[in-house]
Amino acid sequence: MAEQQTQPSRFGPVVLAGLGSAAVLAVASARDWFALGSDTKVGFGVPDDQLRTDMPLALALALVLLAAWGVVLVTGRRTRRLVLALAALAALGLLVCLVAAPFTLPDEIRSHLGGDGGGNRVGPTAAYVVSCVVAPLALAVVLLGWRFAPRWPEMSSRYDAPATSTTPDVPAEDLVDRELWKALDEGRDPTEQ
C-alpha cells in the first residue's frame, strides 16, 4: 500500500492528454476526410458537397471518447475503469474508421461524379492525416489512464448533494425573516396587524 502512495498518480498529465487528443479527434472527425483533387475537371451541375466526404461514425466515436474523459473527472475509482474501457473501445473504433476510410470514401466521391469516375484523383485531407496521427496516441493515453486510474484522487464529498432532512436546522430569526419575505411576495404588508 505504501508503494502505491509513493508512485505518482499521473492524474493531471494523463487527463489533459486524454481531453486534448479527444478534442482534436472530434474537430478533425467533423471535417471532410477525403476530397476530389483540385486539378480534376468536374462536369457542370455537380454540387460542391459531393466532391468531398467525411465519416460520421468517426465523429460519433470521437465525441464518446471526449465525453468519457469528462466522466472520468467526476466519477469514483470503481467507475473510472469501466468508463475508460468504454473509451478504449471508442478509440479502437476510430482506428477501424481510419483504416476503412481509404477503401470506402474515395469510391463514394467517384460515385457522385457518375460515368467513369475511376480516373478522378481523390485524396485524403489534412483532417484525415491529423486523425491518423492522433488516434493511436488517444488509445495509448486511454490505456495509461486505465492503468493509473485506481491511484487518482476522487472528488471531495463536499461536492455531493446534501442529504435531505425532515427538520430544518434554521434559527428562529431566519424563520421570522422568511415569513416577512413571503408576506411581501404575496403582496401583503407584514407591518400591518
Q: Can you give the three-state secondary structure of 135-179, one letter per residue?
A: HHHHHHHHHHHHHHHHHCCCCCHHHCCCCCCCCCCCCHHHHHHHH
Domains within the chain, CATH numbers bracketed: 8-156 (1.20.140)
Q: Pick the residue with more confidence: 133 or 160?
A: 133
Provide the residue type at 183 as one letter: A
Give the CA radius of gyration of the chain: 28
The CA distance from 3 to 41, in Å, is 66
Q: Pick the residue with more confidence: 119 or 128?
A: 128
Q: Is the pTM of this model over 0.75?
A: no
163-172 average pLDDT score: 59
pLDDT at 117 over 60: no
The CA distance from 35 to 52, in Å, is 4
